[in-house]
Amino acid sequence: MADYPIEKIRNIGIIAHIDAGKTTTSERVLFYTGLSHKIGEVHEGEAIMDWMEQERERGITITAAAVTAYWHKVGQAKIKENEYRFNIIDTPGHIDFTVEVKRSLRVLDGACVIFDGVAGVEPQSETNWRYADDYKVPRICFINKLDRLGASFERSYRSILERLTPNAIKMQLPDGEEDQFHGMANLLEMKYYKFEGEHGENVIETDFPSDDLRKRAGTARAELIEKIVEHDDGAMQEYLDGKEPSIDKLRQVLRKATLENKLVPVFCGSALKNKGVQFMLDGVVDYLPSPADRTAFRGIDPKTGEEMARHSDENEPFSALAFKVATDPFVGQLIFFRVYSGKIAAGSYVFNSTTGQQERIGRLLRMRANDREEIKEVYAGGIAAAVGLKGTKTGDTLCDQASQIILEKIVFPEPVISLRIEPKTKADQEKMGLALKKLSDEDPTFRIKTDEETAETIISGMGELHLDIIVDRMKREFGVGANVGRPQVAYKETVKETAQAEGKYIKQSGGRGQYGHVWLRVEPQERGKGFEFIDEIKSGAIPREFIPAAEKGINEALDRGVIAGYPLVDLKVALYDGSYHDVDSSEMAFKIAAGMALQECVRRAKPVILEPIMKVEVIVPENFLGEATGDLSSRRGRIEQMSDRSPLNLKVIDAKVPLSEMFGYATTIRSLTQGRGTYNMEFSHYEEVPNNVAQTIIEGKK
């Protein structure tokens, strides 16, 4: 029997833009759920969820930590029947660690999205919101930091309506803002609450402090009820007949609409000042799904390729998705996984259907950030960490060997920036290889390759900060000293036209010869489409057994473009003709011939270099606007819009700028604005490089 009723489990993520107070909110959650007896502050470097040294130093979250906590709703008796189990995944806000957010959303059932009450919706909030839309994750919002100078609940709420979703609905109204923020009105119950005790742990219901607040809450409540009843015919009929549906009925309708992503409840408060987090947790219970609320989880049968379904039921065959690999200093490698169906016990065998290997689970752990509790079994809907899985990586499916399934994979973005790296001493040489391998197992957006010409090691990632942290972790966790080169942009090459070419590889040198002959056609594809191979061989011009070899030759040739040796992307290659020799043809000959043909095709198809373009948001005081926009234009930036962030007299500039022009920008923007300007940057898309820049790139490669 499952150790916990599945409808009382909530697998939730806390996602936000960097600095919206996400980790502070998570720390309050741990405190109120009784997991920690002392509140750790990020600004004092004491946060429990941020357990890596770099996280504490930089005050940012880098890895998603999975934590199990228990919650009783405000006002309910603290008995087992009223208890809910939360598996909380705290995700990073910094764009360089976007992969952590993506993979967390893949295994979550619901999300709390946190916003800064001063800034409202920020670029990273938009990106994360888009990811949550992709995975159809129901969510609630929490407008935080209402105690800060310049905070405005109404303005932040409007920015959610305008930039994210028109379906957001206010569940609360704050009583005052900035240093006058005292408490809040709960609109559904039409009650006023304030928070007392050293950490706001005592939630006190009192009378409305003013008629004005009561009146505003009454108006907002009428709007709220109108929006809720639209989603249920019975409630709508009652409402039109002049009767108000009961609070329980309204909650039920709102829950159903939230689960279907038709409404998004919005809560408010200040995590730092210990106000409002408890009601957000009640919102998780009331409006976010349990694993039982999720419909079937889709996957494919690895043998037949047919679609299959699994349900959140412990009696179905076991299936789980590994969503994170972490190296723990005490127990070695931990694999975090989410169980979708069935159950698994420590010491049992599981089948990795992605790699086709059987693995043994040594121990099962339930995590409390950097604490752990050993458990015997995990059931459908549970999240746990396994010790002992040797060949399992992020995105792999674990299942019952007798009933195999491959769950939908997590797709990771391609890296945009590279560095050359070398060990400082001979002793570091071997250790560096091991350290890099472990780090790339943990992080699928971090890649390692060896430059064939110079035999140097090249590491690639999502941004300067990303690679900075990797090098830092090598030094601290693995004791490896390394020298790094200057950051290099990950350029790509593609074609603009369609072209055909043949490749012939014929060798006669005593004994058996070599004969391979192919005709290829290359066509451009739209940006981001990648590579596609089409087999158009008719009437046996090339025997079937040589076609995979030709495809392999094409794949290998894609690694080196013809202009400056960058990888080729976004093209379609058709193998449409060729010839063979009864005796001399071999797989090797066709592989070489196809590689030669591809290079020739690309030369004829008007090849171009592509560069990564970044979405940049720059925030500067109004009197420095001219300098900031002028500087962006000189970096080949396209300014897309400018907006105000009142009442702080700040200007926000949204621009698209090539990554190659953004190195060292942090120093520039500070010196241009007397240290008051800040910026955020994330990858947007690849775009063709202008001719003069292409020339510089080609010369730099020679």
Binding residues for GTP: 16-23, 90-94, 144-147
CA 204 to chain centre: 38
What is the dihedral sign for C-alpha 421, 424, 429, 432? Answer: negative
Give the span between the Cα atoms of 205 and 500, in whole angstroms.
77
> What's the DSSP call for residue 246?
P
Give the span between the Cα atoms of 297 and 313, in whole angstroms.
11
**C-alpha distances in Å from residue 181, one per residue of 49, 58, 146, 178, 287:** 27, 29, 7, 6, 26
Annotated binding site: 16-23, 90-94, 144-147
Sheet containing strand 514-524, edge to edge, reads: 499-507, 514-524, 571-579, 531-535
> What's the DSSP call for residue 525?
-
Residue 131 φ/ψ, nearest 5 degrees: -60, -45
Alpha helices in 404-539 (DSSP H): 426-442, 464-478
Give the span between the Cα atoms of 290 and 302, in whole angstroms.
28
What is the dihedral sign for C-alpha 31, 37, 42, 48? Answer: negative
DSSP letters for 333-393: EEEEEEEEESEEETT-EEEETTTTEEEE--EEEEEETTEEEEESEEETT-EEEEE--SS--
Give the span between the Cα atoms of 5 and 292, in whole angstroms.
10
CA angle 626, 629, 631 (to 5 degrees): 105
Per the CB < 8 A criterion, the answer to whether 533 and 551 are in contact is yes
DSSP letters for 486-503: --EE--EEEESS-EEEEE
**C-alpha distances in Å from residue 219, one per residue of 131, 143, 223, 512, 588:** 34, 20, 7, 90, 77
What is the dihedral sign for C-alpha 526, 530, 533, 534? Answer: negative
Q: Long-range contacts for 154-157 (Cβ within 8 Å, ≥24 apart)?
A: 155/120, 156/115, 156/116, 156/117, 156/118, 156/119, 156/120, 156/121, 157/266
Q: Long-range contacts for 687-690 (Cβ within 8 Å, ≥24 apart)?
A: 687/527, 687/610, 687/611, 687/613, 687/658, 688/608, 688/609, 688/610, 689/491, 689/608, 689/609, 689/610, 689/611, 689/658, 690/636
**Amino acid letter at 423?**
P
Residue with tokens 């936000």: 16
DSSP letters for 294-348: S-PEEEE-TTT--EEEE-S-TTSPPEEEEEEEEEETTTEEEEEEEEEESEEETT-
CA 546 to chain centre: 40
Residue with tokens 């046996």: 540
Residue with tokens 């095709």: 601
User: In which element (H, E) is residue 212 found?
Assistant: helix 211-229
* Burial of 66 per CB tally in 10 Å (0-12, 13-18, 19+): buried
Q: How far apart are the first and last CA of the chain?
A: 66
